Amino acid sequence: MPIQYYIALASCLFCIGIVGVLVRRNAIIIFMCIELMLNAVNLLLVAFSKMYHGGAALSNATTTAGVDGQLFVFFIMVVAAAEVSVGLAVIVMMYRNVHSVDVNFLNRLKN
């Protein structure tokens, strides 16, 4: 499949994530939308990696070109997990104090 399809799919997922972050009011759902953004990036990286690998493999069958893209995906997954653990802990901490995960409650600092 041509790379354009992957780029379009990844940009759609990414935009859904961004719109979700901007319009949703529930902290957990915002967080899920951020994860969606990260996964769109993962998809895109894997697609690019395959593209570069395919291009290089035509001339050299044992090439390792494009592998770095897939390795990057591993790093994104691990760092996202670390971020999840901290983020959920923050959300739980807030829930225990205000009994809500609605970000509209976040206006105490405005004044």
Partner 1 sequence: MNAIILSAIWGVVLMFCSVLIKNKGVYRHIAALGLLVILAGNIHETYHGSFFNIDTHEMLRFSRFGLFFNTILLAATLLYVLLSGRDVEKAGGYVAEYFTLIFFVLCGASILTSFNTLLMLFIGIEILSIPLYILTGSDKRNLRSNEAALKYFLMGAFSTGILLMGIALVYGGTGSFMLEVPRSAIMGGYKGVSFLEVTGLLFLLVAMSFKVSAAPFHFWTPDVYDGAPSVFTSFMATIVKAAAFAAFLKLFEARVGDTSAAVDWKLLLSIIIVSTLLIGNVTAVFQQSVKRMLAYSSIAQAGFMLFAVFSLNDVAKEGLLLYATAYSLATIGVFAVLIKMKDVTFEGFNGLARKNPVLAATTTICLLSLAGIPLTAGFFAKFSMLSAVIKTGTYTWLVVVAVLFAAVSAYYYFRVIQAMYFKEGDAQTEEVTGGFKVLLIAVAALVILFGVQPQALLNWFYF
Partner 2 sequence: MPLLNVLLTAAPAAASSASNYFPIGLQLLFAIGFVATMMVGTHLLGPKRRTGDKLENFASGIESHGDARQPMAIKYFLVAILFVLFDVEVIFFYPYAVNFRGLGWSGFWSVLMFVGFFAVGFFYIIKKGALQWED
> Angle at the Cα of 18 (from 66 to 72), degrees rounded to 5?
20
Map the footprint of partner 1 across residues 58-97, applying CB under 8 A.
65-66, 68-69, 71-72, 75-76, 79, 82-83, 86-87, 89-91, 93-94, 97
Contact 66, 52 (CB under 8 A): yes
Show the binding pattern over residues 47-86: x = contacts partner 2 (CB under 8 A), - = does not.
Answer: ------------------------x--x--xx--xx-xx-
Q: By rule CB under 8 A, what string of x and - marks binding of each residue 6-45 to partner 1?
A: -x--x---x--xx--x-----x--xx--x--xx-xx--xx
Instruction: Using CB under 8 A, pick the residue from 29, 32, 57, 103 that binds partner 1.
Output: 103
- Residue 81 binds which of partner 1, partner 2, none (CB < 5-8 A, kind-dependent): partner 2
In angstroms, the CA 48 to CA 67 distance is: 10
Element (H, E) at 3: helix 3-23
Taking Cα atoms as reference points, which of 74, 72, 68 lies closest to residue 53?
A: 68
CB closer to partner 2 out of 19 and 74: 74
Question: Percentages helix, strand, coil for the chain, rounded to the nearest 5?
Answer: 80, 0, 20
